[in-house]
Amino acid sequence: MPDGYASNIARCANPEKGTLHGIKSHDCHIFMECLLPIAFWSLPDFVWSALAELSQFFKYLCSNTLRTDDVVRMQENIPIILCKLEKILPSNFFDSMEHLVIHLPMEVLHGGPVHYWWMYPFER
């Protein structure tokens, strides 16, 4: 990654305990969008592909430019991705927060890209 793009995530990792600590929100986005597919590439194909699709969803959602037809396609694909994850992960993992991701493409269609909130704070 480019220098200064993210903090040194290696400093936040504790390999003995298998935990991450002190990660800022931008670092979580970096992990979710870029490092998640790399970290889990050795898992079985059906597990890795579901995690990679979720990662790609967030990468497209947080991109600088969005096309309406791409957002509509993302809105159609996210329930399928969540169903794949529900087949893999235990049921007690899912609560209302995991299902809120279904509403994010619709909010992007109504409000526009997230990066431009500061340009038009009162024009909605």
List, for residues 17-28, the tens digit of each pLDDT value.
888 788 777 777
Q: What is the pLDDT of residue 17?
A: 87
In the predicted structure, residue 121 carries a pLDDT above the cut 50: no
Residues in the chain: 124
Confidence of residue 122 (pLDDT cuts 50, 70, 90): very low
CA distance linking residue 122 with residue 109, whole number of Å: 17
Region of poorest pLDDT, from 30-34, 51-55, 97-101:
30-34
Cα 66 → chain centroid? 16
**Per-residue burial over 55-84, b = 16 or more CB atoms within 10 Å of its CB, e = otherwise:** bbbbebbbeeebeeeebeebbeebeebbeb
| pTM (whole model) above 0.75 | no
